[in-house]
Structure 1
Amino acid sequence: MSWALGILAGVGYGLGSALLPIVNAEAYAVVCASTRAWVLVPVVIALAAGQTVGKLLLFEAARRGSTRFHTGSKVAALAESRWAIRIRSALVHRRTALPLMLASAGLGLPPLALVSVAAGASGQPRRTFAGLCLLGRTARFAAIAIPVAYATGIR
């Protein structure tokens, strides 16, 4: 895989996995780490960037109350769940909002899809959400891929 193709595929996989639960960005990071270590850093960053863009789409849909999403959609279901209400209440205060968004992006708990929708609905600053999402996702993918690269001894 070429460097440019790895980055493009990483962005695409990240974006796809942010919107479609059947696409697994972590699996893509592991496969890349086990085959070509030299593409590891660009692919990790590309995956994180793609995921951030995808989660920003959910964030913006919730923020704008987009009429493009009908009542039965995934975004509407996330916005109406009990978890989303609890998360949204935690997002009201900056001292709880920032760690919650970073933990969600890095650890996946609470699920980033829920936090994305709740953060958009609660009026979080877009740049803050995007920055924390990118930071957390980069750390997550690096924490998954780097040990694989070392374990397989790929150079």
Structure 2
Amino acid sequence: MLTLLGALGFGALSAFVPVANAELFAVAAGRHGASVTTGLVLALAVGQTLAKVGLFEATRRGSAILARHRRRPSSRWATHVAARLGHRATRAPLVLTAATVGLPPLMVVSVAAGATAQPRWEFGALVLVGRIARFSALAAPVALALG
């Protein structure tokens, strides 16, 4: 149980601190048996998801405050990402791709998504699915090789 809590905490930490690499943690988790690896991957993904939803929410609340004050022009790139996240047809694929592949970076997408009308539940679900897929893909080969 303590190991799972450690994975959850490490996932949350790695969402903010790049030196705490969740991908390396997932690979290292693969050295345990399949059931332990599965639990560690899920805990790691949940920790990262909670932290990314925290970024999303902080941006959402911060953008509401900034909207009451003077707006500064945003960059062309930020406008492009926000536009994609603002459309129902493109927001889910963009968030899922960022969560699974890492391009565009999930941290950037988390912040940009918070400034759009994307529902929190949708963002969180997509990040969780993408993170589980990413970490599973990294841990599975090690678990199978050592299995």
Structure 1 residues 109-120: aligned runs within 5 Å: 109-120=103-114
Question: Which of 142, 146, 152 does residue 140 from structure 2 map onto?
Answer: 146
Question: Which of 40, 43, 62 does residue 43 from structure 1 map onto?
Answer: 40
Is the Cα contact below 8 Å between 1:104 and 1:111 reproduced in 2? yes
Supply the distance in 2 between the matched residues of 1:124 and 1:108 (Cα, whole angstroms). 19
Structure 1 stretches lacking a partner, 5+ long: 67-79
Is the Cα contact below 8 Å between 1:88 and 1:118 reproduced in 2? yes
Aligned residue in 2 for 1:52: 49
- TM-score for the superposition, normalised by structure 1: 0.83
Could you say which structure has the greater relative contact order, defined with CA pairs below 8 angstroms and 6 or more residues apart? Answer: 2
Aligned Cα root-mean-square deviation (Å): 1.7
Supply the distance in 1 between the matched residues of 2:75 and 2:142 (Cα, whole angstroms). 36
Aligned residue in 1 for 2:92: 98
Counting aligned pairs with the same residue, the percent is: 52
Deviations along 1:75-113, whole A, 9 cap, x unmatched? xxxxx6554332111111110111001111111110000
Say whether 1:129 aligns with 2:123: yes
Report the CA distance shift for 1:95/1:142 in structure 2 as closer, same or farther (over 3 A). Answer: same
Is the Cα contact below 8 Å between 1:32 and 1:40 reproduced in 2? yes
Supply the distance in 2 between the matched residues of 1:10 and 1:20 (Cα, whole angstroms). 15
Say whether 1:6 aligns with 2:6: no
Supply the distance in 2 between the matched residues of 1:81 and 1:12 (Cα, whole angstroms). 34
Residue 30 of structure 2: SS of its match in structure 1?
helix
AA of the residue aligned to 2:25? Y
Aligned residue in 2 for 1:15: 12
Structure 2 stretches lacking a partner, 5+ long: 64-73
Supply the distance in 2 between the matched residues of 1:10 and 1:46 (Cα, whole angstroms). 6
Supply the distance in 2 between the matched residues of 1:14 and 1:55 (Cα, whole angstroms). 10
Task: Count residues in correspondence.
Answer: 138
Say whether 1:108 aligns with 2:105: no
Report the CA distance shift for 1:85/1:41 in structure 2 as closer, same or farther (over 3 A). Answer: same
Supply the distance in 2 between the matched residues of 1:138 and 1:5 (Cα, whole angstroms). 20
